Chains A and B, each alone.
Chain A
């Protein structure tokens, strides 16, 4: 089946203060998406301040130069729109989806907090409490909380930047201060460190004028130099385990480092396809073997990056497999079967039609994600920030379709036990 391409128009420009802007028009529905992405994430947190990037994200919703607390939410939602923000390893995003008549309002709101958020002690204390409840609901009060995204990095990596707990320890969160927030804002929330993307139903010239009007007078600050976060490849296997007091059944995560997603994209892309060949759907190699044939696992999934976003992560990152096991299941058996299946792929190659059907399904997944205007704005903003040109988004379905069987096989041949990290969850409660 022919893999369709997208032809989203992309207009790119940079304001005098260094803010990069991407406009992608689409008049198919009377709505718009707005995304602002800052080039700072979990990896940039200072020692003693684990979880700070995420806590700071919360503070960006607490009011700004011309808006009191709660006003941001009310203006967006009272315009018929939705909003959110999220913190990743390499970036932090803020976004809105709105009826098209609310575009200028959304731009004003984003500009206002880019200029001056309200980083008060009172807001900070309130949001530390909220974030602690977020961590309790998502990690501490449930089985498999934070597995595997919080569990792999401390075993896989050696530097604080890559290895620390990105949600944050309660001790670090509680010791955060308003001056810390001011400092973090001054360094990382600079106009030169941000990208604004707007998608949807607007006139490009009018939208550009609105962007210049609201963002143009924000004092320019350059992007801070991005440290080199790279770490050497592993030369021997690493294993970790966690006893989870709420988990009734064993689970396993396996990770291997992959090539630099930005600077070695050609070598990286086959790994994105490989993860799908191994785990997408009932016909994938590992599902068929582990779940349907051996029944040594009850589910298996595979993806790139700890947040499963292949086009939103920088080096170092990993291809991750995640399996849940039946009662009494043996993780060593899973590890050896995965090795066997990877070897079978590396030495025996792909079956007829196997690659093209996986590529067709990947195209559907990607197009489906891009059908949402706010997702389109987000992906374009991140791609602009990390890869220097948002229009690469239009090339992704084609590039995925051009990955060859030989490249997938070569990628598989690097998934060796001595480069592997595995994390076992030991059940702490009876099934």
Chain B
């Protein structure tokens, strides 16, 4: 047998040059230099919790569809002229805009963005076009197992919380009007609490100056809106959602975890890796590589402003729905009761450290990572500390986190599939409740 070559030291991870500035209107801006390509990436998030779901969706799609002086086509053409593009959308926490352009076009990109942030007019024609498109998209989503099982899971995870329903009714979307969108924009599309990240092939201070020139005049005055913390998940029967005609069952499980600021965050992210967070995990080895039940089983920790949860997902052949769910629970139980091996931990640790390094090696990756952290209130310096923590977390800390967060009896389970086939075999060994 030939021996696999050892690792050699990788070059040092040099943190990119960074500058931060809070504009007088409250907009928090971070700029970073990455010179690998002559481009600029931008990310913007504006607090949007509790915004009306239907109006929020239509506002996101129509934000860039016209101002007093420019039509939707004018804006799109001007963006293209600098190699640029912008897109906007809303979720339960944020109105988010992301885009990119040739670096020489950054000033123009920012001007066009500012034009819409301060002067979007939501033309009746474009509102009508977009609300119909969104309603159609929702109609399609309602035939997609991934969407349906997600909606059922959110309902199970967040009873009584605004996160419980994150997709509007098509009828509500079709009722969106210019006046209501303009009102929502005036109340919520404001710089206070908003975050902007730029990664570009240029001096970060100069990028901040560009932002200040373009967006310094964006007037503050947003309503302050907060969300209550999401309720902690507790065990209960498996929620079964019938989807007649399904040729697979979509299984999801969720457990309450902790915010990125918690001392448990780093060890828990390693627990997630070992469980199902990457290909070399227990879940993939078990239900894919050993048993062939599924193509892409995985788990991940999702952080929203008012909740953190570990979510497990597997789409499995209908006839193995019961066995697959049993293995998902078994692996949770095994990891919560028995400490992982040193080798397993080391592998998860190296993967976590390495993929952060890879994620920072493109402009787009660095911009998205920086925005993700900034959205959790984490500023310059946090990532270095997190890398250090990931590198030094002990096996005992990881085992302790697994014990406290992974108990299979505390998880919420949802299964979507052909109920007439899967209900009986599931009910024979666990409690099942129809959605």
Evaluate whether A78 and B100 lie within 8 angstroms (CB atoms) in the complex, with A66-B4, A102-B10 already known: no
Q: Which residues of chain B are within 8 angstroms of A166 by Cβ–Cβ distance?
A: none
Bound form: Cα–Cα A167–B433 in Å: 36
Shortest Cβ distance from residue A72 to the other chain B in the assembled complex, whole angstroms: 9
Bound form: Cα–Cα A388–B85 in Å: 33
From B136-144, B179-187, B394-402, give the one contacting chain A.
Answer: B136-144
Evaluate whether A29 and B81 lie within 8 angstroms (CB atoms) in the complex, with A77-B347, A367-B37 already known: no
Interface size on A, residues (CB 8 A): 89
Asked if B339 is an interface residue, CB under 8 A from chain A, the answer is no
Residue of A30, A134, A360, A371 touching B102 (CB-CB under 8 A): A360
In the complex, are the beta carbons of B104 and A1 less than 8 A apart? Answer: yes
In the complex, are the beta carbons of A357 and B315 less than 8 A apart? Answer: no
Asked if B355 is an interface residue, CB under 8 A from chain A, the answer is yes
Q: Which residues of chain B are within 8 angstroms of A101 by Cβ–Cβ distance?
A: 7-11
Asked if A132 is an interface residue, CB under 8 A from chain B, the answer is yes
Evaluate whether A363 and B83 lie within 8 angstroms (CB atoms) in the complex, with A81-B354, A133-B315, A142-B144 already known: yes
In the complex, are the beta carbons of B37 and A371 less than 8 A apart? Answer: yes
Shortest Cβ distance from residue A420 to the other chain B in the assembled complex, whole angstroms: 25
In the complex, are the beta carbons of B280 and A133 less than 8 A apart? Answer: no
Q: Which residues of chain A are within 8 angstroms of B248 by Cβ–Cβ distance?
A: 133, 136-137, 140-141
From B253-261, B358-366, B421-429, give the one contacting chain A.
Answer: B358-366
In the complex, are the beta carbons of B279 and A77 less than 8 A apart? Answer: yes
Residue of A69, A82, A103, A125 touching B289 (CB-CB under 8 A): A69
From A34-42, A155-163, A287-295, A313-321, give the one contacting chain B.
Answer: A287-295
Residue of B37, B146, B278 touching A77 (CB-CB under 8 A): B278
Shortest Cβ distance from residue A65 to the other chain B in the assembled complex, whole angstroms: 8
From B152-160, B230-238, B290-298, give the one contacting chain A.
Answer: B290-298
In the complex, are the beta carbons of A80 and B37 less than 8 A apart? Answer: no
Bound form: Cα–Cα A140–B317 in Å: 12
From A86-94, A243-251, A261-269, give the one contacting chain B.
Answer: A243-251
Asked if B368 is an interface residue, CB under 8 A from chain A, the answer is no
Evaluate whether A431 and B145 lie within 8 angstroms (CB atoms) in the complex, with A1-B82, A80-B351, A283-B77 already known: no
Interface positions, chain B 241-284, Cβ under 8 Å from A, are: 245-248, 278-280
Shortest Cβ distance from residue A258 to the other chain B in the assembled complex, whole angstroms: 23
Bound form: Cα–Cα A68–B25 in Å: 59
Evaluate whether A75 and B36 lie within 8 angstroms (CB atoms) in the complex, with A1-B102, A282-B73, A371-B363 already known: no
Residue of B6, B139, B353 touching A248 (CB-CB under 8 A): B139
Bound form: Cα–Cα A128–B292 in Å: 8
Q: Which residues of chain B are within 8 angstroms of A431 by Cβ–Cβ distance?
A: 136, 139
Asked if A31 is an interface residue, CB under 8 A from chain B, the answer is yes
Q: Which residues of chain A are within 8 angstroms of B64 by Cβ–Cβ distance?
A: 282
Q: Which residues of chain A are within 8 angstroms of B125 by Cβ–Cβ distance?
A: 292
Q: 0/1 per residue, A73-114, Cβ < 8 Å to B?
A: 111011111110000000000000111111111001100100
In the complex, are the beta carbons of A249 and B136 less than 8 A apart? Answer: yes
Asked if A337 is an interface residue, CB under 8 A from chain B, the answer is no
Q: Which residues of chain B are within 8 angstroms of A248 by Cβ–Cβ distance?
A: 139-140, 142-143
Look across to chain B and name the residue whose beta carbon is closest to the beta carbon of A75. B4
Q: Which residues of chain A are within 8 angstroms of B364 by Cβ–Cβ distance?
A: 368, 371
Evaluate whether A280 and B102 lie within 8 angstroms (CB atoms) in the complex, with A66-B2, A248-B140, A371-B362 already known: no
Evaluate whether A361 and B10 lie within 8 angstroms (CB atoms) in the complex, with A4-B38, A133-B317, A368-B37 already known: no
Q: 0/1 per residue, B118-144, Cβ < 8 Å to A?
A: 000000011001001100110110111
Look across to chain B and name the residue whose beta carbon is closest to the beta carbon of A5. B38
Asked if B17 is an interface residue, CB under 8 A from chain A, the answer is no
In the complex, are the beta carbons of B73 and A28 less than 8 A apart? Answer: no
Q: Which residues of chain A are within 8 angstroms of B82 by Cβ–Cβ distance?
A: 1, 360
Q: 0/1 per residue, B1-33, Cβ < 8 Å to A?
A: 110111111111110000000000000000000
Asked if A165 is an interface residue, CB under 8 A from chain B, the answer is no
Bound form: Cα–Cα A137–B314 in Å: 10
Q: Which residues of chain B are within 8 angstroms of A188 by Cβ–Cβ distance?
A: none
In the complex, are the beta carbons of B76 and A282 less than 8 A apart? Answer: yes
Interface positions, chain B 77-127, Cβ under 8 Å from A, are: 77, 79-85, 100-102, 104-105, 125-126
Interface positions, chain A 355-380, Cβ under 8 Å from B, are: 356-358, 360-361, 363-364, 367-368, 370-373
Interface positions, chain B 330-385, Cβ under 8 Å from A, are: 346-347, 350-351, 353-355, 357-358, 360-365
Q: Which residues of chain B are within 8 angstroms of A364 by Cβ–Cβ distance?
A: 39, 83-85, 100-102
Asked if B35 is an interface residue, CB under 8 A from chain A, the answer is yes
Asked if A226 is an interface residue, CB under 8 A from chain B, the answer is no
Evaluate whether A247 and B140 lie within 8 angstroms (CB atoms) in the complex, with A1-B83, A26-B36, A371-B364 already known: yes
Evaluate whether A143 and B72 lie within 8 angstroms (CB atoms) in the complex, with A31-B357, A361-B80 already known: no
Asked if A201 is an interface residue, CB under 8 A from chain B, the answer is yes
Shortest Cβ distance from residue A95 to the other chain B in the assembled complex, whole angstroms: 12
* B residues adjacent to A (C-beta < 8 A): 1-2, 4-14, 34-39, 64-65, 72-77, 79-85, 100-102, 104-105, 125-126, 129, 132-133, 136-137, 139-140, 142-146, 245-248, 278-280, 285, 288-290, 292-296, 315-317, 346-347, 350-351, 353-355, 357-358, 360-365
Top 3 closest pairs, chain A to chain B, by CB:
A80-B354, A129-B292, A30-B11
Extra contacts, 9 of them, besides A81-B351, A130-B288, A353-B81 (Cβ < 8 A), are A1-B104, A29-B360, A75-B4, A80-B357, A101-B7, A105-B6, A137-B315, A248-B142, A431-B136
Q: List 7 A-B contacts (CB under 8 A).
A: A30-B13, A66-B4, A80-B358, A112-B2, A247-B143, A324-B140, A368-B363
